[in-house]
Structure 1
Amino acid sequence: MKLVTDLKQKILAGGEISRSEALALLEVPLEELTAAADEIRKNQCGNAFDLCTIVNGKCGKCSEDCKYCAQSSYYSTACEETYPLLPAEIIVAEAKRNAERGVLRYSIVTSGKRLSDPEINQMCETIRAIKKETSIEVCVSFGLLNEEQFRRLQKAGASRVHCNLESSPRYFPEVCTTHTYEEKIETLKAAKRAGLSICSGGILGLGETPEDRIDLVLTARELGVTSLPVNLLNPIPGTPYEHNQPLTKEEACRFIAIFRFLIPRASIRLAGGRGLLNDQGRSCFQSGANAAISGDMLTTAGISIETDHALLAGLGYRVQLPESETMSSRSSGF
């Protein structure tokens, strides 16, 4: 189809596609769209694949009412485990184990609206210990922090902040009412001002429209997001979304491909819900995605690091940080 070819050439020439052009891609043949997205990915990013893991650094009793979350105190789910911040020795040991298995990034994720200053001090000491004992990149997902707090984390050795937008500005109030979209945007801007890269995406399957999905990524593009996690809703019994229908593999591939057209140089990262796909994300990795969270998620099982290494090697990827990052020379050998 001429539209796909024309938009692909526009991107390869250094241009950006508009919202209306992205919406037009909803109607084009899937195979042609995904092939073009994969070509854009190869041209803009090469065969580098950014692999990360996450650790649930503080679990349960979350004060926020995000309707998808098993850890929210608003809902009764099978996730009954709760604990405060994990001690440094546990988090550091897990970081070392992941680094030894060829993982590039290690993200510490905590429940709640934000960490307190004493908790941030504790995490700074933990991050310093990780950087002393490993070469892994450290990412943090500590909630709605301010610039001064992010500067402390950056000085301790963190390199990236994660804060998902979750959906479009229009639809977000349907997902969560205990904090705002504007608070999330200010958090990401504060992290950038503190010298940290930002990782922010959302969840597909919350009841949003295709337009909402595109608007989510347009917002991320405006913010200068370099890593876009794409979660596929895993409906959790006990949450308001427990009866939502998960995306099909074809739907996932189409939106991954459109996202690649929208943000051609970013790491598009398959995250939660990848295990719901019968090919463990293989088709998405051929449709523009070039990053993933490996191992278990926060409250659900994931795909093992070893399985992912074998899958990615078979697709011709090299697990390494993007060349645009200062640490790009560090890569795993598998």
Structure 2
Amino acid sequence: MNRLEEAKQKALKGDGVSRDEALWLFESDDLTALCRAADEIRDARCGNAFDLCSIVNGKCGRCSEDCRFCAQSARYPAETGAYPLLAADELAARAKADHEQGVRRFSIVTAGRTLSEAETEAVCAAVRAIREACGVSVCGSHGLLSYEQLVRLRQAGVARYHCNLEASRRFFPQVCTTHTYDDKIAVIQNAMRAGLTVCSGLIIGMGETAADRIDLALDLRALGVRSVPVNVLTPIPGTPFEQLPVLTEDEVCRTAAVFRFVLPQAAIRMAAGRGKFEDKGARIFRSGANAAITGDMLTTSGITVARDLALLRSLGFEVARA
């Protein structure tokens, strides 16, 4: 039995490979074999169910944080609009429209370090309006909320909280200095303590190493996170990362495949950056990924729900509904 097969058998049991094994997989010469094995793990551990979600930029711009990839930071001259929290009826209408198209989950995302007391109550009101309007499962992404705020979101009807780690502990200071990796970990743990499931992942292509990506995946495994967004950096003019090279599709497929070996039972969720590939992610979805964000991203365009549904059905996936 060769080393790839040994790693596959370990992942098929649900254990996930070690750091050394993941590093070896990342350096594997046979990308086709790696991706095929990851797809087999996905099929065995998760089946053909595909988790499709959409997001809305519920509050845009003027963010105090200095995340170097983000066009919404007030510290950089990136050209992006800014507006306060959208009204509850508008958020409910958007959620209902996406749900009627076949989207299972809908997330309200807000720019900023956290929510004020008034914004927390307004988001809770919007969540209640969404739950009354349709059967979509509601997620929230509102920065570094307290445990008490997270409890209030759950009581309002939020099922899942999103808090990307973004980068490994080692590389995180190269991405952001206004909050820390441990700040993110605390939010994830508090969300779980509040009874919420958690969605947390990373952005690849910011200058990190393969080891950085693997270390983050291992931290997510230790935390028990089962929904893992993989964003591909879109260098945005006016941000500090605007000159970084765009990753190749091979690199993204390799990352998704290795994540499947590390996280055999997770929803590996392709997010921002997928739309730049000609096949809109078809190869990546045959490399271990089994979830996606559909529609537009926060400040960049995405892929329509109809086009994603057609793609996923052509690949043999069953798109789950809430």
Shared fold (TM-score, shorter chain, > 0.5): yes
Q: Hey, what's the Cα distance between the residues in 1 that align with 2:224 and 2:13?
A: 19
CA contact (8 A) 1:234 1:276 kept: no
Q: Deviations over 1:243-286 (max 9, x none)?
A: 10111000000010000000000100000111122211110000
Consecutive unaligned residues of structure 1, counting only runs of 5 or more, are: 322-329
Shift of 1:50: 0.3
1:58 paired with 2:62, answer: no
Shift of 1:3: 1.0
Which residue of structure 2 aligns with residue 84 of structure 1? 84
Q: Hey, what's the Cα distance between the residues in 1 that align with 2:149 and 2:160?
A: 13
CA contact (8 A) 2:78 2:236 kept: yes
Matches within 5 A, 1:247-286: 247-286=247-286
Shift of 1:167: 0.5
Q: Deviations over 1:165-199 (max 9, x none)?
A: 00100000000000011000000000000000000
Q: Tell me which amino acid in the other structure corresponds to 1:296.
A: D
Consecutive unaligned residues of structure 2, counting only runs of 5 or more, are: none
Q: CA RMSD in A?
A: 0.9
Which residue of structure 1 aligns with residue 209 of structure 2? 209
Q: Hey, what's the Cα distance between the residues in 2 that align with 1:223 and 1:11?
A: 18
Percent identical pairs in the alignment equals: 55
SS at match of 2:283: helix
Which residue of structure 2 aligns with residue 223 of structure 1? 223
Say how many residue pairs are matched: 321
CA contact (8 A) 2:14 2:264 kept: no
Q: Tell me which amino acid in the other structure corresponds to 2:76.
A: Y
Q: Hey, what's the Cα distance between the residues in 2 that align with 1:13 and 1:220?
A: 18
**Which 4+ stretches in 1 moved above 4 angstroms?**
none
Q: Deviations over 1:20-78 (max 9, x none)?
A: 01001022210110000000000000000000000000000100000000110111012
Q: Tell me which amino acid in the other structure corresponds to 2:289.
A: A
SS at match of 1:5: helix
Which residue of structure 2 aligns with residue 196 of structure 1? 196
Q: Hey, what's the Cα distance between the residues in 2 that align with 1:82 and 1:23?
A: 41
Q: Hey, what's the Cα distance between the residues in 2 that align with 1:296 and 1:212?
A: 28
Which residue of structure 2 aligns with residue 325 of structure 1? none
The normalised TM-score by structure 1 is 0.95
Shift of 1:12: 1.6
Q: Deviations over 1:174-232 (max 9, x none)?
A: 00000011000000000000000000001000011111011111111111111000000
SS at match of 1:160: strand
SS at match of 1:198: strand
Shift of 1:15: 2.6
